[in-house]
Amino acid sequence: MGRDHVEQNISILSVFYQRAVAEGLARAVPFTYAQAISRYGDQVRQANLARRRASKPHGTVKYLEADFAALFLSALAGLRPDGTPDAGYRGRELARNAAMAGLALATGLRRREFTFLLVFEVPPAPPASHPSGLPVLFGVPAALAKGGKYRTTWIDAATLHGYIGLDRAANVAGSGWSPPPRWGEPLLVSDPGPDGGRVNGRRVKWASLTAAERLRLVAPGEGSCLLAVRADGGPFTAWESVFTRTSRRIPARFEPRIPLVHPHRLRHSMAMATLERLVGGFYVQAVQLAAATGGGTGTDAAAEPDAALALYLAKSDPLMVLRDLLAHSSALTTEAYLRRLDMTRIYADAYEQAADGASAGARAAADREADTEFDTGTGGPEDTVDGDGDGDAVGGGA
């Protein structure tokens, strides 16, 4: 088949798809067909300008919505989307992997920050008096934070303690793990507490330890002091590999649309989920419920942080809250960060939810009030001093 014949067939196919799109029988033309003619003196050249359709940049999934996040956590835990065990998967350390991904989704921690987190730094599970729906505050160690800047975020401590008390405890019990010589001498920990302990006999604050030093810490009962450990009690740090391999496994078996998940995508997902709750009034409702039931409003010292957090969430602008959680230098950085994700959708959804919850009369009144904002006519009651239409016009002449 000659070149002219091939190009003629391609041209016919292009016209066919254009007609199919016009008739509603196809969504898009899979390719274009066009020719350019160029002349160089006596020579005439033809070039085919056909291009295959490519995905648009805004079509790239940059974060996990709630259903995709739940699916990802289930896959890490060795479960199917319906919560039943996935018999076709033979992964290891499933509880650890799901707990650490849940930590990243709840806190927005960067990979370095959650990888080298010590088990001693995890806050205790909240007491029964803790208001339902109100987050638990968590301080990110300055030595791990980007730029060495301390910040406070919040954490799902209850889920982490399930892993710490069972799977992690079994891995470190009786472990003979010790850091390899190339890392340096072991740093033996004694008398550990939430803020510090003794390292080789010297009192040390955890916040002052670098990532390299944290890798060498050996707990009193042996085993690594990092939150995430291997089956032999040593530290585990290969989160990029765990998350990407799991997200590659999901499309072939459960959901083809889920994107490749790397640690920073979980940070994006936390930012969008938190913004959605803030804009949608989730935390304000939690504060109101806590006030109505007396939760977090007592006079004891344990209740004061809950009361302060409740006031902060009820009164602060959503962008200011996210700025603090993500440790951005300004709200402008947070706004630019969210704009690259999908901030418009969050506010549009909140608007639709507010409209759906309003009565027909309230919506009609809101429409009338909005119409007056765009009324550019003159001579109406609003153009007079006394408001009844028969007074002197504002700014009128003598």
User: In this predicted model, what pLDDT tens digit does every residue of 207-254 receive, in sequence order?
Assistant: 999 999 999 999 987 899 999 999 999 999 999 999 999 999 999 889
Domain segments of the chain: what residues?
A: 3-54, 62-242, 265-354
Is 80 exceeded by the pLDDT of residue 88? yes
CATH no. for 62-242:
1.10.443
Degrees to nearest 5, angle at CA 34 with 28 and 39: 165
Q: How confident is the model at residue 396 (pLDDT cuts 50, 70, 90)?
A: very low
The whole-angstrom separation of Cα 102 and Cα 271 is 14
Q: How confident is the model at residue 19 (pLDDT cuts 50, 70, 90)?
A: confident
pLDDT score, position 342: 63
The whole-angstrom separation of Cα 203 and Cα 190 is 9
Degrees to nearest 5, angle at CA 83 with 78 and 86: 35
Q: Would the pTM of this model clear 0.75, i.e. be above it?
A: no
pLDDT digits (tens, 9 = 90+) for 114-142: 999 999 999 888 777 776 667 788 888 88
pLDDT score, position 150: 84
Burial of 14 (0-12, 13-18, 19+ CB in 10 A): middle
**pLDDT over 90 percentage in the chain:** 35
Degrees to nearest 5, angle at CA 311 with 306 and 313: 95
- Window from 75-89, 107-121, 158-172, 361-375 with minimum mean pLDDT: 361-375
Q: Residues 231, 88: contact at Cβ < 8 Å?
A: no
